[in-house]
Every structure is written in structure tokens, then in C-alpha cells.
Amino acid sequence: MPTERKHPAAGERLHKVLAQVGLGSRRQIEDWIRAGRVHVNDQPAVLGQSVTGADRIAVDGQPVTLAAPAKTRLLIYHKPEGEVCTRHDPEGRPTVFDRLPPLPSGRWISVGRLDINSSGLLLLTTDGALANRLMHPSNHLQREYAVRVNGDVDAAMLERLRAGVELEDGPARFVIITDGGGEGRNHWYNVTVDEGRNRLVRRLWTSQGIVVSRLLRVRFGPLQLPRALGRGQYREATAAELASVSARPAPASRPVRSSSGLKPTRRRG
């Protein structure tokens, strides 16, 4: 079960402390430290620095209160197409953060992203350390998608996608591919990857000359997209759901097949 986060009386790494109070992920905060945006006791912070509750911390000149929320919060959000996952979009497009409940302190942190043309399950948390752990490549958390493709797909192509193909940023593959139904050239597949590289699912299909016409994320790690959750809606994760992603993941082993039983061609809303 998730526990209350403690005040850093004995000294903790600065980027971890700031992530715990919801200012961002550890990786983001490390970038802020490199850029000179973070000060401790009126001096520029350095990577790896430890702080205690007695230290004065400021980000962009604004003091940071180290009193963390009593408990980590996690939202399960059904992202619709047309929303971006950035906090402020220079083009003025709607963002996933526009719909979220306000927080008395800290901020919501997106666990990974879905591109503007993709929809489905998006997790958001107040705990930057949790977000970092869920996104970290070493944990190999599976992401499952329902994908509608346009093109002629044959058995040899599916075998190549399972075995692995070379992309511009290295080899990649689908851990699982199952037939989702459909007729003609517009066909559905359920595919699973165990990493979060940018637009990975689309790029894997594109490597075979296949166009993705719709992409819906239906699972992230142990959490499924709830059937009753409409597009643009969110709900708070239950204690059991939060515990399932807060625990340290076990070493990657055999792929886990989805238990969602999702029929993507029948999904509405």
C-alpha cells in the first residue's frame, strides 16, 4: 500500500525531493538543475545534491515548500483524440491538463504521453518519483493498444513485427500481436510493447508500409482502461490500483496477455 511521504529530515537527493512534492519527474528536475533554475540556500544547485528540511529551496526564484501531500494520487484518464499531453501548447490546442481537478499544492504529472491523434488510457499522478519509475525503460512495463490499420497485412509481416525490426532509434518489436477483427483493408489488431519510445506503435507498422488509422491505448502495466470511462473522463485510482503500480516491478519474464477482452471495433464514446 502507498505510504505517506516523509519530510527529508535526514537528507535526500534534491531531484527526488522535488519530484515527491509533485513539481515534475526526476528527469525533468535534473534538467532544471543543469539549466540553473534550482537554488538551495541562495546558491545554484548541483546534480546529486542532498537537502534536508532545514534547507531553503527555490525553483525559478519561487520558494518551494517541502510539505508533501499526505498520499500519492493517481488519476486514470481516457484521453480523446485532439488533446496534447504538454502542459502549455504554443498552438493553443486543448491539453489533457485542462480537464483535471485542481490541486492545493504540487501538480499533475503525465506518465508518458499519447500523441494528438491517439486516444485511450493515460495515467497522471502527483508523485514525480512514481511517474519516473513507471516510465523508466529498465522496468519494461507493457503498454497494450487496439490499432486499426489500413493495408494488406500477411503472416510474414506479423512474424517480422514479433521478431523485431530496425527503426531509426534502434530495434523494436511487438511483444504480442492478436487479431482484433474487421473487414477488408481496415483491420483491427491488439498489440503490446514493453517500452515507451515516441510513437513506437505507429512507427513499427509504418516500417512495413502499413498506415495506422486509429490507435487506442487499453492497458498500461497492470491497469486497464475502464469500459465505463468515456472519452475526456477521469477517475481516481482505487487503493488496490495505486498499490499495483507503486510496488517495485518484478524482473521482466514472459509476456502477460491482456485480460481486458476488449473488442476495439465495438468500442463507442
Q: Hey, which residues are catalytic here?
A: 115
Q: Give yes or no for a contact between 76 and 48, defined as CB atoms under 8 angstroms apart.
A: no
Q: Give yes or no for a contact between 223 and 123, defined as CB atoms under 8 angstroms apart.
A: yes
Region for 138 from its dihedrals, namely left if φ exceeds 0, alpha if ψ lies in -120 to 50, beta otherwise: alpha
Residue 240: partners with Cβ closer than 8 Å, 6 or more residues away: none
Element (H, E) at 120: strand 119-125
Q: Give yes or no for a contact between 244 and 169, defined as CB atoms under 8 angstroms apart.
A: no
Rounded to 10°, the helix 239-246/128-135 angle is 60
49: buried, middle or exposed (CB in 10 Å: 19+, 13-18, 0-12)? middle
